[in-house]
Amino acid sequence: MITKHLSSNAKIGLSLLAACGLMWACGGASKKSNTNDTDSSSQEREFGMQIVPQEPLATPSKNKFSKVQGFKEGETPTASAGFKVVRFADSLNSPRNVYVAANGDVYVAQARTETKGDGKKADSHNEFRSKSPNNIIRFRDTDGDGIADERETVLSNLSQPFGMLLAGEWFYVANTDGLMRYPYRNGKISTSGKKILSLPAGGYNNHWTRNMILNADSTKIYISVGSGSNVGENGMEHEVRRAAILEVNLDGSGERIFASGIRNPVGMDIEPQTSTLWTAVNERDELGDELVPDYITSVKNNGFYGWPYTYWGQHEDPRWKDKMPKEMAQKSITPDFAVGAHTASLGLSFNKADGFPEGVYIGQHGSWNRSTFSGYKVIFVPFSKGRPAGEAQDFLTGFIGNEENSEVYGRPVAVAFTSKYMLVTDDAANIIWTVMPERL
């Protein structure tokens, strides 16, 4: 469904969301978290804190690629009751990630997967077939209405950039093949940057995104690096420094693996109550419609999360039967919260604006390795005292058009907050969406 406006009262919407967070505070499995799934038993296998995963290949592994149609002028996705949606900026070229600086400047990295040919998978990414734009644009909303008044390209000729951050007098960019650092003075970025760390590039299904975030005391940088394969099929010697979150000093030195066995971590944020790192993770393909659920999780120092040998704790991947190192399987950590199989959960941000319920917001880019569409929305998981406190709830929907014809309007990616509203990048429709309380 597409909508041009919402009319529900903001206070009602907020109270309903808060009530949902209290109702399931004991942590049961989700039973209504993805409107694209009708089988209630699938919810228990795919959503929540205590799931029982489906058996491997209980359903055949199938592909269903979307066809991006875009949103017409005046059309928007649909937000939860009490919130409205406007276009922060449009007419873009693959806006993938968004970073909000302390002074309110909004930086957007434009880059995309480069798929050869004109096949169905390419149709699901973007209307453009040219090379990745590989630039960063700075936006400013000078009157706080959720619509950008100024835009300027500040960095170009990058290498599939994704992660961005400001620390002191430096602006950092995580390219797919390395961490760059640029002088930042008086609100401006110098173009004379320097690579301070090389990163492994390429990989299965174009796991090219390299996100990053400062740790809680701003002394280290966490960098996410996805796997180079689906499930280690090319040999684990090709997965060095991959399927991991790296930790480095602010000058790029002192690299160590902070956590491993995380197939493709993308969205990252620091949970505000506990100062703990959380991430959204894309799990493996080709084990069936309901395997393996993507997840969000707190990230433990030196933690191992199973990939490629096991999933959701110590469930063995049959492709590694009789050849996995048992000591690795036995120490695999069960993630905190499952968010649906093949949903491509990429974005993750805790609420930072007034009027938004306490919890985490997850951008789901949408499935391709599933017989029906899954994801294609932003979902919300309520938190209390630093932990999930309820089921996953739809927050921003309306990206799916005619599923029978495989048509979608767009595909959400990253989620971020200014002091007043949420921003969601849509790299398929080439729009950045603002979601704000109706009272604003």
Q: State how far Cα 97 lies from the chain centre.
A: 9
pLDDT for res 159? 96
pLDDT for res 439? 87
Higher pLDDT, residue 115 or 208: 208
pLDDT at 368 over 90: yes
Structure confidence at residue 126 as a pLDDT band (50, 70, 90): low
pLDDT for res 383? 98
Structure confidence at residue 34 as a pLDDT band (50, 70, 90): very low
Rounded Cα gap, residues 324 and 313, in angstroms: 14
Mean pLDDT of 362-386: 97
Higher pLDDT, residue 116 or 392: 392
Rounded Cα gap, residues 425 and 295, in angstroms: 20
Mean pLDDT of 335-359: 97
pLDDT for res 116? 59
Residue 407 token pair: 């048509």
Output phi, psi for 316, to 5 deg: -75, 135
DSSP for 32-85, written as a single string? SS-TT---HHHHHHHEESS--PPPTTSS-------EE--PPTT-B-EEPTTEEE
pLDDT in tens, 153-204: 999 999 999 999 999 999 999 999 999 999 999 999 999 999 999 999 987 7
pLDDT for res 440? 76
Pick from 179, 322, 191: which is nearest to 255 by CA?
179
pLDDT in tens, 222-241: 999 999 999 999 999 999 99
pLDDT for res 408? 96
pLDDT at 438 over 70: yes
Do 118 and 127 form a contact (C-beta atoms < 8 A)?
Answer: no
pLDDT for res 261? 98
pLDDT at 24 over 60: no
Structure confidence at residue 25 as a pLDDT band (50, 70, 90): very low
DSSP for 99-137, written as a single string? EE-TTS-EEEEE------SS-HHHHTT-S--S----EEE
pLDDT for res 44? 86
pLDDT at 32 over 50: no
pLDDT for res 42? 73
Pick from 425, 418, 367, 357: which is nearest to 392 by CA?
357
pLDDT for res 37? 46
pLDDT for res 7? 32
DSSP for 330-372, written as a single string? HTPPPPSEEEEET--EEEEEE--STTSPSEEEEEE---SSSSS
Do 336 and 296 form a contact (C-beta atoms < 8 A)?
Answer: yes
pLDDT at 258 over 90: yes
pLDDT at 125 over 70: no
pLDDT for res 127? 58
Rounded Cα gap, residues 144 and 131, in angstroms: 34
pLDDT at 103 over 60: yes
Chain mean pLDDT for the chain: 89
